[in-house]
Structure 1
Amino acid sequence: MIERQDAVTRRRVLAGVVGTATVVALAGCQGTDETADPVALDGDESCDQCGMVIGQHPGPAGQTYYRENSPEGHDPPARFCSTTCTYRHRFANEQSGWTPDATYLTDYSVVDYEVRTDGGTAVISRHLDAATFASSDDLTVVANSDVEGAMGPALVPFSEESDAAAFAQEYGGETLAAESISPELVGSM
Structure 2
Amino acid sequence: MNRRRVIATGIGGAVTGLAGCLGGSASEEALPDPVDLEGEFDTDHGMAIGPHGGANGQIFYRDADPRDEGNPAWFHTLVHSLFPYHFDRLDRDWEPVVVYVTDFSRVDYTVRQRDGAPRMPSPTAPETFADATDLVYVAESDVMGGMGPALHPFSDQEEARSFIDTHGGQMFDYEEIDRTLIEGIRQSEN
TM over 0.5, shorter chain: yes
Could you say which residue in structure 2 is the equivalent of 1:38? 34
Contact kept? 1:64, 1:77, Cα under 8 Å: no
Kindly indicate whether residue 146 of structure 2 is the aligned counterpart of residue 150 of structure 1: yes
Deviation per residue, 1:132-178 (Å, 9 max, x gap): 00001210100111111112111000010101111111111100112
1:104–1:166 Cα change, 3 Å: same
Could you say which residue in structure 2 is the equivalent of 1:88? 84
Alpha-carbon distance in 1 for matches of 2:147, 2:123: 15
Contact kept? 1:61, 1:128, Cα under 8 Å: yes
Structure having the higher Rg = 1
Runs of at least 5 residues in structure 1 that lack an aligned partner in the other structure: 1-26
Equivalent residue in structure 1 for 2:64, among 69, 94, 110: 69
SS of alignment partner, residue 117 of structure 1:
strand
Map 1:21-60 → 2, pairs under 5 A: 32-48=28-44, 50-60=45-55
Could you say which residue in structure 2 is the equivalent of 1:167? 163
1:67–1:77 Cα change, 3 Å: farther
Alpha-carbon distance in 2 for matches of 1:178, 1:155: 11
Question: Aligned residues: percent identity?
Answer: 37
Deviation per residue, 1:33-74 (Å, 9 max, x gap): 4321111100231113x2211123111100000011112269
Amino acid in structure 2 at the alignment position of 1:55: G
Amino acid in structure 1 at the alignment position of 2:92: S
Deviation per residue, 1:104-159 (Å, 9 max, x gap): 11010011111111232111111110000000121010011111111211100001
Contact kept? 2:43, 2:72, Cα under 8 Å: no
1:77 deviation in Å? 7.3
Contact kept? 1:136, 1:179, Cα under 8 Å: no
Alpha-carbon distance in 2 for matches of 1:68, 1:144: 35
Alpha-carbon distance in 1 for matches of 2:59, 2:115: 32
